[in-house]
Amino acid sequence: MMYGVGMPVLFLVAAFTFFVMFTVERWAVCYIYKQPPSFDDKLTKNATALLKWAGLIYLGFGYWMLSNKMMFENEVLPIAASNDY
């Protein structure tokens, strides 16, 4: 979802993927698993700590994509020499 600013169709792909994963997990819990897995609060705390930075990373990738001149003008800027970056 980090690239969603530049390619909005990825939001639809992510929504479809989350729906399929949710459905399969619910089905698996009902019909396949014998006992639910035992998790402690450490998993939740680690996920929350990582998600604090998700918005900042999303903004960084969005700025990078929207400020790229080659993205909207459909023009490739060639490298003048082999030692140029």
pLDDT tens column, 68-78: 777 777 777 77
Residue 11 corresponds to which tokens in the numbers above?
Answer: 């939001």
Q: Which burial class, exposed, middle or buried, applies to 58 when counting CB atoms under 10 A from its CB (0-12, 13-18, 19+)?
A: middle
Residue 67 corresponds to which tokens in the numbers above?
Answer: 């400020």
Dump pLDDT digits (tens) for 23-51: 999 999 889 888 877 788 898 899 999 99
Contacts of 58 (CB under 8 A, 6+ apart): 1, 2, 4, 5
Q: What is the CA radius of gyration of the chain?
A: 20
Residues 62-74 as b or e (16 or more Cβ within 10 Å = b): eeebeeeeeeeee
State the pLDDT at residue 85: 61
